[in-house]
Amino acid sequence: MTEYFDTSRVHDDPSAWDARAQQVVNAIQSRRNGIDALGGAPAAWLAAGLLLAASIVLAFAPSPFRPRATSADWVAVIAPSDASSRAIVLPDRPPALGALLLTNALERGTR
């Protein structure tokens, strides 16, 4: 079991740990954050400027003309196909019960 957890190659003295800590600090300091990288590269400033200009142009560009559908167009598209449902949906007031029953009876008789 000790062969799996062999730590003989790990140097456990303070100077080895200090050296490792210094390597970590150097690696962190050598990396540049995003703002530093953007400030250091003229090409990055150019790309950011172009993206900003394109987004402003797209934000204020007029949209293409699309005619708005009227309510009559929507009624024609969404209206039910059977007469009894049309009698319920289309008028401004509810239909009479007799008209609904008669419409269903007439539709069944003609089919």
* DSSP secondary structure of 6-67: --TTS--SHHHHHHHHHHHHHHHHHS--HHHHHHH-HHHHHHHHHHHHHHHHHHHSPPPP-P
Q: Is residue 47 part of a domain?
A: yes
pTM of the predicted protein model: 0.30
Mean pLDDT of each 10-residue bin along the chain, 111 residues long: 74 87 85 64 84 92 73 75 71 70 65 50
What pLDDT, on a 0 to 100 scale, did the predictor assign at position 71? 73
What pLDDT, on a 0 to 100 scale, did the predictor assign at position 45? 82
Residues 103, 83 share a domain: yes
Q: Is residue 92 part of a domain?
A: yes
> CA-CA distance, 56 to 45, in Å (whole number)?
16
In the chain, the amino acid numbered 104 is N
What pLDDT, on a 0 to 100 scale, did the predictor assign at position 67? 67
Q: Is residue 100 part of a domain?
A: yes
The boundaries of the domain holding residue 41 are 28-61
What pLDDT, on a 0 to 100 scale, did the predictor assign at position 25? 87
What pLDDT, on a 0 to 100 scale, did the predictor assign at position 34? 60
Q: Is residue 12 part of a domain?
A: no
Q: Is residue 46 part of a domain?
A: yes
Count of domains in the chain?
2
Q: Is residue 105 part of a domain?
A: yes
* CA 41 and chain centroid, separation: 31
